[in-house]
Amino acid sequence: MHSFRTTSLIIGLLLAGAQLYAQQNLSNLFSDSTLNPPNQSAIGTFASPYIVNAQSNETLYKHSLTLYIAHRFDDIAGKYGGVKTLFGLDNAPDVKVGFQYGISNRLTVGIGRYKGAPEVRYLKVPFNTISELWFGEIKYRLLQQTENNHIPLAITLYGNALASSRAVDSNPSSDAHFNNFSDRWSFMIQAIFARKFSDKLSFAIIPIYLRRDYVAFGDENNMYALGIGGRWKFNRTMAIVADGFIPFRSATGRNYFKSNGITFYAPISVGWEIVTGGHVFHIDFTNANAISENQMIPYTTRSWGKGEFRWGFNLSRTFTL
């Protein structure tokens, strides 16, 4: 009788076990990998199509329309800053108004205008006198990084064309002494290589080719540059963003300008980014007067070291049509 009791206990336990097993079975029916689509792309490498001044790998979503307004003030310190100009607030070296539209999730086109940031100091060589810049741009997301690192980085291509509508400068050594319409143009091609390392940290490396059809004596029609940018998202709505460009100007060119009292600096920018729904708001500090990369890369002559940096803001508002 004793052994029978033990056996029935075992049977009972086994039955209960079977019942339990069957219940747990429901949650075991679906594995994570079969439910989640494979090779999901990493989203939000950067918060907007711009890092600070540099392009990020991001494009707009399909049928999104974004309005951009950006503003730069004058030098905070140095010869042209200080209390006299209320730390640069009196002047606006450059202003941008632009629109971008997402034709698809990969393809974005844009138009806009920069005030343009010609050099206002007296120069023996008027190499940077162009203003009233109208531009068209196109950006294509070639490759998206995937979360599982099957594709470890994102590649986006960018191109723009920019033309000045300013009056012809009578000074024949000026770069605005346009002889014909084609002299007003500059073109830029970029490839943006970006990687989202974590939820918080993203970086981009951007090889750039810049073509200016008409330049001052000693300047270069064809120029290469390397852009570097990053974003550290320190909470869910805010981030620190930074970017910089290394323009590759020939030694002869550099020396020629140096002998005329002009030194070129790498444009370096740091910004505080606040994302608010459809808005992206930046407060930026940069030594570049210009907002347009077409001017910023070849013409930055202000130095962080001399206090010749300024604050500015970038504002974008996205509408879905």
What is the binding site for another protein (CB under 8 A)? 3, 7, 10-11, 14-15, 17-19, 21-23, 25-27, 29-30, 32, 35-37, 40, 43-44, 60-62, 64, 102, 105, 147, 199, 236-237, 274-278, 318, 320
* 64 CB neighbour count, 10 Å cutoff: 17
Q: Which is nearer to another protein, 67 or 246 (CB)?
A: 67
- For residue 61, the minimal CB distance to another protein (Å) is 3
* 232 CB neighbour count, 10 Å cutoff: 15
- For residue 179, the minimal CB distance to another protein (Å) is 45
Q: Which is nearer to another protein, 185 or 272 (CB)?
A: 272
- For residue 203, the minimal CB distance to another protein (Å) is 18
State CA 208 to chain mean position distance. Answer: 13
Residues 227, 205 contacting (CB under 8 angstroms): yes
**What's the angle, vertex CA 114, arms to CA 110 and CA 117, rounded to 5?**
145
- For residue 5, the minimal CB distance to another protein (Å) is 11
Q: Which is nearer to another protein, 30 or 181 (CB)?
A: 30
- For residue 3, the minimal CB distance to another protein (Å) is 8
State CA 92 to chain mean position distance. Answer: 21
Q: Which is nearer to another protein, 91 or 105 (CB)?
A: 105
Residues 98, 68 contacting (CB under 8 angstroms): yes
Q: Which is nearer to another protein, 258 or 279 (CB)?
A: 279
- For residue 138, the minimal CB distance to another protein (Å) is 19
Burial classification of residue 291, based on how many CB atoms lie within 10 Å of its CB (0-12 exposed, 13-18 middle, 19 or more buried): buried
Question: Which 3-state string (H, E, C) describes 94-106?
Answer: EEEEEEEEECCCC
How far is Cα 249 from Cα 274, in angstroms, rounded to an integer?
Answer: 35
* 142 CB neighbour count, 10 Å cutoff: 12
Question: Which 3-state string (H, E, C) describes 124-189?
Answer: CCCCCCCCCEEEEEEEEEEECCECCCCCCCEEEEEEEEEEECCCCCCCCCCCCCCCCHHHHEEEEE
SS3 92: coil
Q: Which is nearer to another protein, 4 or 181 (CB)?
A: 4
How far is Cα 192 from Cα 45, in angstroms, rounded to an integer?
Answer: 12
- For residue 57, the minimal CB distance to another protein (Å) is 14
Residues 65, 103 contacting (CB under 8 angstroms): no
Q: Which is nearer to another protein, 23 or 179 (CB)?
A: 23
Q: Which is nearer to another protein, 155 or 274 (CB)?
A: 274
State CA 274 to chain mean position distance. Answer: 15
- For residue 230, the minimal CB distance to another protein (Å) is 17
